[in-house]
Amino acid sequence: MYLYHFGLRELPFSLTPNTSFYLPLQSHSEAMQVLLTALKTGEGFIKVTGEVGTGKTLLCRKLLNEIPDAFEVAYIPNPALSPEEMRYALASELGIKGLTRINQQQLSQKIQLKLLEFNQQGKGVVLIIDEAQTIPWETFEALRLFTNLETESRKLIQVVLFGQPELDKMLSSHRLRQLRQRITFSYQLRGLSKEELKEYVLHRMSVAGYNDPGLFDNASLSALHKYSKGIPRLVNVMCHKALMLVYGEGQTAIHKKHIALAANDTDSIEAVGINIKAIVAALLLMALTIALTLVVVDMSTVKEWIQ
């Protein structure tokens, strides 16, 4: 792809949440501080919400990596589970054995005994749930009952919820009012400002091995913020496509036109009104350049073989 062209060690704008690319911008730093403070004070429920693509899963993984040793962690990334499945998932994460052929009451007892065991060791237990907006209604009640388990001085388990804005809508319902009242700390992630976006883009390029700050001009960064609305995932998508376009042209700088083309080619971004012929021409040029490069490499290999 374009790695060799730009001298990169790895793809700078992959959509996989990679904590080595984490940048402690204001919104994420504040959210992390809220999380760590809430955990240390022993609160039952903690919530972090944000629009799709604002970095919730990356923040979740960062928390998993940096949570203090005083906590035992259970992590459930796909919580669309029934109450029974949630109990089994928690028990499995806590390392509880002998889960076959037991009823729900016995399972709950095993969980409580394990939580007490950790408490006697001086450890707290944190259940971290990603994509919490997918939790079924009835499973929320099971989560609430988990936090009923406590000693005279502390909760035996704390629950951290990461979710999209739909989670807030669910929690605002009358049927979840008991759980909602137990959420004492929460934070809502926002998009990047123009200044943060520039820092974000340059940071990811630097981590990937590229340190020329002139790759993106000011106009391209402004366009990037306009079309992405500061959503990191959309920034990644457009930057990746822009790098491909520039590579296809054999150039080394990204301009506004490349961002506009990338935006127009991204379904989740509103149409930007560019001529489709320009898109086709750019893509054809990219394909032609790559094809010619492959031919040259292939001919060189043939000559070496003949000699």
Q: What is the pLDDT of residues 90-105, one digit of tens each?
A: 999 999 998 888 999 9
Q: pLDDT for 60-71, tens place per residue? A: 999 999 998 999
Q: List, in order, residues 6 or more apart from 65 with CB less than 8 Å away.
A: 19
> Is residue 305 over pLDDT 70?
no
Domain layout of the chain by residue ranges: 26-188, 194-306
Q: What is the mean pLDDT of residues 153-162?
A: 92
Residue 116 has pLDDT above 90, yes or no: yes
- The predicted structure's pLDDT at residue 295: 47
Q: What is the pLDDT of residue 156?
A: 92
pLDDT at 279: 54
Neighbours of 97 (CB within 10 A): 9
**DSSP characters for the chain?**
--HHHHT-SS-TT-SS--GGG----HHHHHHHHHHHHHHHTT-SEEEEE--TTSSHHHHHHHHHHHS-TTEEEEEES-----HHHHHHHHHHHTT----TT--HHHHHHHHHHHHHHHHHTT-EEEEEESSGGGS-HHHHHHHHHHTT-B-SSSBS-EEEEEE-HHHHHHHTSGGGHHHHTTEEEEEE--PPPHHHHHHHHHHHHHHTT---TTSB-HHHHHHHHHHHTT-HHHHHHHHHHHHHHHHHHT-S-B-HHHHHHHHHT-TTS------HHHHHHHHHHHHHHHHHHHHHHHHHHHHHHH-
SS3 per residue for 271-305: CCCCCHHHHHHHHHHHHHHHHHHHHHHHHHHHHHH
- Using an 8 Å Cβ cutoff, are 95 and 110 in contact? no
pLDDT > 70? residue 281:
no
Mean pLDDT of 222-235: 95
Residue 70: count of CB within 10 angstroms of its CB: 11
Q: What is the pLDDT of residue 280?
A: 40
What's the whole-number mean pLDDT along residues 254-269? 90
Residue 298 has pLDDT above 60, yes or no: no
CB hemisphere CA count around 125 (13 angstroms)? 26
Mean pLDDT of the chain: 88
Q: What is the pLDDT of residue 270?
A: 66
Q: Return d(Cα 194, Cα 201) in angstroms, integer.
A: 11
- pLDDT the model gives residue 286: 60
Q: At 82, is the pLDDT very low, low, confident or very high (cuts 50, 70, 90)?
A: very high
Q: Return the residue matching tokens 């804005």.
A: 165
Topology classification of domain 26-188: Rossmann fold (3.40.50)
The predicted structure's pLDDT at residue 285: 59
The CATH number, out of the four listed (1.20.1530, 3.60.21, 1.10.8, 1.10.3470), of the domain defined by the range 194-306: 1.10.8
